[in-house]
């Protein structure tokens, strides 16, 4: 699935919308939030990627586990997840 760049999304946005400044700001905010959300990874996506890397590193002997897979996942996920301010 090809993802459009921020520049492409902005060009499409400008071409397709002609409205008042206030309406454009409201729609722009919503469209920006939606665009960002679509580019984000779900926790399931991250777990799959972590599993692949974890298994590959263990098979090569380049990874020393500190516990079970779940413990390793939890440590990694907590370290890198976005913190709410």
Q: Go through 35-63 and write b for each residue having 16 or more CB atoms within 10 A of its CB, e for each that does not.
A: eeeeeeeeeeeeeeebeeebeeeeeeeee
Domain range annotation of the chain: 43-80
pLDDT tens string 39-61: 777 778 888 888 887 776 766 66
- pTM over cut 0.75: no
pLDDT tens string 69-78: 788 878 878 8
**Of 50, 52, 57, which Cα lies nearest the Cα of 73?**
50
């Amino acid at each position: 699935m090809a993802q459009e760049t921020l520049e492409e999304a902005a060009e499409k946005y400008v071409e397709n919308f002609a409205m008042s400044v206030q309406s454009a700001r409201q729609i722009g905010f919503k469209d920006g939030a939606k665009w960002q959300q679509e580019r984000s990874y779900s926790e399931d996506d991250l777990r799959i990627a972590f599993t692949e890397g974890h298994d590959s590193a263990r098979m090569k002997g380049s990874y020393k586990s500190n516990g079970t897979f779940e413990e390793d996942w939890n440590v990694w996920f907590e370290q890198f997840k976005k913190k709410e301010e």
